Amino acid sequence: MKKIVLFALLACSLLPVSCLAAKQQRGLPVIGAVETLTLVGEKLQFAARIDTGAKTSSLSAVGIQPYERDGKRWLRFQVADSSGKLVLLERPLERIVKIKRHGALASERPVVKLDVAIGEIRQRCEFTLVDRSDYEYPALVGRNFLNRRAVVDVSGEYMVHPLSQGEKKDAN
Amino acid sequence: MKRVSVAVICLLFFCLAGQTVRAGGKNIIGETAWIKVAGVSFPYLARIDTGARVTSIHAVDMKINDAAAVPEENVGKTITFTTENREGKSREVTARISKVSTVKNSQGEEKRYVIEMLLGWKHVQKKVLVNLRDRSRMQYKLLIGRNWLKNDFLVDVDIKAAEKE
């Protein structure tokens, strides 16, 4: 009788551990159709559409102004974070891409590199800058962020805690 | 001995239950995949697009039986269209119009006819609403959206479909 109780207790202890652990698939974290994207340095948060159909990620920006710094091309631009606050950012211009849009002519977009995170997943990725104020989400996370870093489950949204483990500890 | 084996069975059950909870029992699909469309003899190399709410298929030469001028009045009527995959194989399809969806884009407002289609991947078959769109300028003639992926798939963009089915 004691042995059964012991085994049952052991078995029960295994179940909650797998429930509480962040969802994983083949060792990759599972994220939803929409997540919070954090701009690490400036500590800004954006609601982001997780888009496997997009090759490159994108961030909504307005007032994009090119300028020169140390002989290199830089961009000054404004982004609105989830609180609605407009913040001025400056980044080197990486390149200019042609964006193919369904039914519309191809257009050009500037590309910058941003240090971003979705929960524990942290990456330095390219983002095209475009005015996305007509769209539901200011950020679009594409394959360049997702590749080998996350798996997408469109059945849910905000599956990941926006802060990393370290930030969660600091917050508490 | 009997008690121990019962306990072991319970232990195995809880382990398996834990596994199911974690994996979710969903299929893993890549950034592109070969999809079969019921009623169409050839497969499509499709783009798996979590950014699209509804699935879209390439459709041209749309003809509606007893067409009305207002698109919404054509719901329930039969529509015939030609669909083509990337390899150039084409087929005429007939279906009932389920609804009309309005899409706002840079050109203004566009109306699209929506039908139901049974789309299959390996052993999985799902019937979903599909937008009929002219995708002749797009690389992928079938765009799988969230309405097909929901509840059954996890998308791993590291996986790409084989060149040939």
Task: Give me the CATH number covering residue A99.
Answer: 2.40.70.10
State the best of B50, B144, B160 to mutate against chain A, taking most chain A CBs within 10 Å. B50
How much is the pLDDT for B81? 98
Per the domain annotation, does B106 fall within a domain? yes
Q: How many domains does chain A have?
A: 1
Per the domain annotation, does A101 fall within a domain? yes
Residue of B nearest to A30 (CA): B154
Parent domain of A152: 29-157
Query: Does A21 contact B at CB distance below 8 Å?
Result: yes
Query: Does A15 contact B at CB distance below 8 Å?
Result: yes
The CATH number that applies at residue B42 is 2.40.70.10
How much is the pLDDT for A60? 96
Q: How many domains does chain B have?
A: 1
Question: pLDDT band for position A32 (50/70/90)?
Answer: very high
* Interval B54-113: pLDDT, tens: 999 999 999 999 999 999 999 999 999 999 999 999 999 999 999 999 987 667 788 999
Per the domain annotation, does A162 fall within a domain? no
Residues of A in contact with B154 (CB under 8 A): 25, 30, 151-153
Global ipTM: 0.83
**Which residue has better confidence, A85 or B118?**
B118
Per the domain annotation, does B163 fall within a domain? no
Percent of all residues in chain A with a pLDDT value above 90, rounded to a whole number: 66
**Which residue has better confidence, B23 or A13?**
A13
Per the domain annotation, does B15 fall within a domain? no
Residue of B nearest to A11 (CA): B11
Q: Under a CB-based contact definition with an 8 Å cutoff, are residues A152 and B50 in contact? A: yes
Dihedral sign computed on CA atoms, order B122, B33, A31, A36:
negative
Residues of B in contact with A151 (CB under 8 A): 28, 154-156
Parent domain of B76: 30-156
Per the domain annotation, does B2 fall within a domain? no
- Whether pLDDT at B19 is above 50: no
User: What is d(CA B51, CA B55) in angstroms, rounded to the nearest whole number?
Assistant: 10
Region B24-49 average pLDDT: 94
Per the domain annotation, does A83 fall within a domain? yes
Query: Does A19 contact B at CB distance below 8 Å?
Result: yes
Per the domain annotation, does A10 fall within a domain? no
* Interval B116-140: pLDDT, tens: 999 999 999 999 999 999 999 999 9
Q: What is residue A4's three-state secondary structure?
A: helix
Per the domain annotation, does A163 fall within a domain? no
What is the overall mean pLDDT for chain A? Answer: 87
User: What is d(CA B114, CA B108) in angstroms, rounded to the nearest whole number?
Assistant: 19
Per the domain annotation, does B98 fall within a domain? yes
Question: pLDDT band for position A84 (50/70/90)?
Answer: confident
Rounded alpha-carbon distances, angstroms, from residue A171 to A37, A46, A115, A124, B59: 18, 19, 21, 24, 53
**Which residue has better confidence, B25 or A159?**
A159
Question: pLDDT band for position B23 (50/70/90)?
Answer: very low
Residues of B in contact with A153 (CB under 8 A): 24, 26, 153-155
Question: Letter for the amino acid at B101?
Answer: S
Per the domain annotation, does A13 fall within a domain? no
- Whether pLDDT at A20 is above 60: no
Query: Does A155 contact B at CB distance below 8 Å?
Result: yes
